[in-house]
Structure 1
C-alpha cells in the first residue's frame, strides 16, 4: 500500500492501519461460500427450516405439541378432567377447530388458484415466455460450448462447470504476471471459486427437481460475491492486466451472471411446485381433521375416562391427540412456509449485493 502523494514524503500511514486494511482486503477474497458458512444460524435451525423433510418436520411439530399439551394438562392443571367437561369446553374447543380447518382449507384453495393463474394467459404472453426461455438457453449454450441440458440440476451443473473452467483460465493467464499482489489475489479467488464449484456440482449430482436438493445446492454457490471480486480485481489492477486478461475477466463475470437468473428461475418453479404440494396435502389432511373434530364434538363432550395410561389421565391423552390431529393442516402450512420464506429471504438480492451483516 502506497502513501498519498499529496501528503508529502515524510508522512506515512501507521503500520497498524496497513495491517488492518490488508487483513480486511484478504478476508473479502476468502468470503465463505456455503449457506451454512455464510449465516450465523445453527445447523439445527437450518435443518428445520430448509433441509429437513417437510413431512418429518410436521410430525415433529405434532409430537412436540402433543407432549406439550399433556405436560401442561398434567402438571399445571390438576383438575383438567373436570375442567374439560365443564362449561362446554370440548364443544367450544373443537367447534372452533372445525371453523379454522374450513377457513384454512379455503385459503389454501385460493393460494392454489393464484399459483395456477400465473401459468394462464393469452397466446401472445405464452409465446413471449417461450421466446425468452429459448433465448436464455441459446445464450447459455454459447457460453458452455454444448447443448443446454433439460434437467434443472444438470443445467445448473453446466453453468457452474463453465465458471470453473474460466476461473482456471484466469489463474493460468495471471500466473506469469509480474504483480505479486495480483497473482496472490487471483490465486486465492480462483481457488475459492473452484472449490465451491466442485462442492456444489457434487451436491447437484443425482438431485431431482421437486425435492429441495436442487435449490439447496444452488444456494450454496455464492455467485454474487464472486461477481464483485471479478469487478474489484479488474478495477484495482487496470495497469497490470492486459486486454486479454480483461477479456477473460469479462467472460468469467458473464458466466457467473448467468447463474443468477438460472437459479432464480428454478427457485420460482420450485416455489410453485412446493405450494401445489402444500395445497394437496392440506386438502388431504383436512378430511381426517374434520372427522376427528366432529367426533369429539358429537361423542366426547359428555364422556368421562377415569383410567390412566403410564400415569397420565386418558382424558388428557385423548383430548391432546384429537387436538393435535386437527392441527395437522396448520402444522403442514408452518413447515412448508418456513422453507419457502427462508429460501426467499436468502435470495432477495440478485447479483453482487450483500444483505447479510455477516458477509460485509
Structure 2
C-alpha cells in the first residue's frame, strides 16, 4: 500500500509512470514498488530480474570474492593446496551438497505435481467451481470470459475502471463539494492504476513474471475499502444510482481478488516446475566440475599464473562458482516466490504493512 502522506492533490490521469500524490491516502501510486518505497535494485533482484541472470550474477560475485581473497588475503592457499587435501575436501563437500539439493528440489516438485492428481469426483468439483467463477465474471463484464490469464485479469480491471468513470459522472452534479473531491481523487487514482496494470498485461503470456507483477500492482483491496468507506460516509448524499454503481464496483473488485490468487497459485506451480528443470540441467555440469576438480586438481597439477594470479586460484574460484549454481538458482527462485507470497498473504481489504494504517 501507499506510504505517501503528502497534502497535495495532483489530478493528472492515465500516466502509468506517474506516482500519484494525494491527500488523505485515498489514492495510491500505480506500482507496488512505488507504494512500498523499495529501490529498483532490490525489486529487480527479488522480483523482476530473470532468475537465471540473478543466479549467474551471484555466481560471478562468488568468483570475484574468491579471486580477491585468494590473491590478497589468504596467501597460504597454494601451500595448503600443495601439501594437504584442501581442494579435495572442499569439492567433495560440494558434490554431497549438489546431490542433496537436487533430491530436495525434486521432492518439492513431486509434492506440487501430486496436488494436480486426484479422483474423478475431485476433478469434477474443480471444473465446476472454475466454470461457475467464469460465468459470474461474464455477468459482471458483459462479455465472454477470456481464456488467457492476462486477458482475464485485464478484463476485470477494465470493468472496474468503467465503474470508476461512471461513479465520477454520477456525483458530478452533487452539492457536496467534499464528496465530489474525494470521488475525483479516488477515481483518478483507480483509473491511473488500471491503465498502468492493463498496459503491462496487454499481450503477455502466462509463465512470465510480468503477468503476476501487473496483478500485484493493482491494489484492489485498498480500493474495496475506499468504496465501502465512501458508501458509508456519504450515504445521505448519494443517489440510488450512485449506490448501485458503488455496489457493482465492489463486486468487480472482489472478483479480481480470487482471480489473482488463482493465477498466482498456478504461477507458483509453474515456477517450481521450472526450477526443478533448471536445477537438473545445471546440476550435471556442476557435478562434472566438482568431480573433475576432486579427482585431478591439486596444488601440483596447476602451475603458473594469469594476470598475476596463480592458475590454481583461477580454477578453484571458477569451479566453486559453477558448483554453487544449483544452490544459487534455488535461492533466486525462492526469493521471488517468498516475496510474492508475503505481499499477498491476505485476500481482500486487509493491510498487513505499516502503510495507510
| Aligned mate of 2:78, from 77, 81, 93 | 81
Which aligned pairs between 1:1-360 and structure 2 lie closer than 5 A? Answer: 26-301=23-298, 303-360=300-357
Q: Can you give the 5+ residue segments of structure 1 that lack an aligned partner in the other structure?
A: 1-19
Task: Report if aligned partners of 2:299, 2:312 keep a CA contact under 8 Å in 1.
Answer: no
Tell me, in whole angstroms, the C-alpha distance in 2 between the residues paired with 1:43 and 1:198.
Answer: 21
Distance 1:38 1:113 in 2: 37
Instruction: Look at both structures and tell me which one has the larger radius of gyration over its CA atoms.
Output: 1
Contact 2:153 2:256 in 1 (8 A): yes
Rounded to whole Å, the distance in 1 between the matches of 2:312 and 2:264 is 46
Q: Which moved more, 1:77-86 or 1:101-110?
A: 77-86
Say which SS state the counterpart of residue 280 (structure 2) adopts.
helix
RMSD value, Cα: 1.7
In structure 1, C-alpha distance between the alignment counterparts of 2:119 and 2:299, rounded to whole Å = 58
Instruction: List per-residue Cα deviations over 1:119-138 (Å, max 9, x = no partner).
Output: 01111110000000000000
Partner Cα distance (1:182, 1:51) in 2:
39
Whether the aligned pair in 2 keeps the contact of 1:31 and 1:359 (CA below 8 Å) is no
Q: How far apart in 2 are the matches of 1:112 and 1:146?
A: 37
SS for the counterpart of 1:175 is coil
TM-score, length of structure 2 as denominator length = 0.92
Structure 1-normalised TM-score?
Answer: 0.91
User: Any conservation in 2 of the 1:271–1:340 contact (CA below 8 Å)?
Assistant: yes
Give the Cα separation in 2 of the matches to 1:147 and 1:287.
47
Structure 2 Cα separation of the partners of residues 303 and 358 of structure 1: 60
State the alpha-carbon separation in 1 of the partners of residues 24 and 34 from structure 2. 14
Question: Alpha-carbon deviation of 1:356?
Answer: 1.5
Aligned residues: 340
CA deviations over 1:53-96 (Å, ceiling 9, x no partner) = 11111111111110011111111111221122333111211111
CA contact (8 A) 1:94 1:294 kept: yes
C-alpha contact 1:90 1:301 (8 A) present in aligned 2: yes
Match of 2:348, SS?
coil
Alignment deviations for residues 122-164 of structure 1 (CA, whole Å, 9 cap, x no partner): 1111000000000000000000000000011101110001000
Matched residue of 1:348: which SS? coil
Structure 2 stretches of 5 or more lacking a match? 1-6, 8-21
Deviations 1:79-119 (A, max 9, x none): 22112233311121111111111111110110110010110
Q: 1:359 & 1:311 partners in 2: Cα distance?
A: 57
| Local SS of the residue matching 2:355 | helix
CA shift digits 1:206-256 (9 cap, x unpaired): 111111110011111011110010011011111111222211111000101
